[in-house]
Amino acid sequence: MPWIDACATDDIDEEDLIRWDHAGKTFAIYHSPEGDFFATAGLCTHENVHLCDGLVMGNLIECPKHNGQFDYRTGEAMRAPVCINLRTFPVKVEGDRVFVEVA
């Protein structure tokens, strides 16, 4: 699996996320309040809304359309109306760059 250089660490505020598009797919990359980085699929599993416009609260991402929530560390669906877990992707930080291992 290739590690792809996705963004700089300071491209994402703490407790926030950005959208990252790569090879025709869209992803969301998160910067947690603890300073860690995570990556998930970029679209909500409920109705394909981009999560990048949502709100990060602690370790949760809330979808901007229906307020469904996922734990972005595990992808687990945490609050209705989302029922299907979000796909997650491994992330590593080298220097000031964030790399995502895309499948």
Point out which residues bind other proteins (CB under 8 A).
Answer: 16, 46-48, 53-55, 57, 62, 64-67, 69, 79-81, 83
Nearer to other proteins, 43 or 100 (CB): 43
Nearer to other proteins, 4 or 11 (CB): 11
**How do 60-62 and 69-71 pair as beta strands?**
antiparallel
40 and 81 Cβ atoms separated by less than 8 Å? no
SS3 content of the chain, % helix, strand, coil (to 5): 5, 50, 45
Minimal distance, residue 58 CB to other proteins, in Å: 10
Minimal distance, residue 94 CB to other proteins, in Å: 26
Residue type, 95: G
Minimal distance, residue 47 CB to other proteins, in Å: 6
Q: Which two tokens stand for residue 82?
A: 């989302």
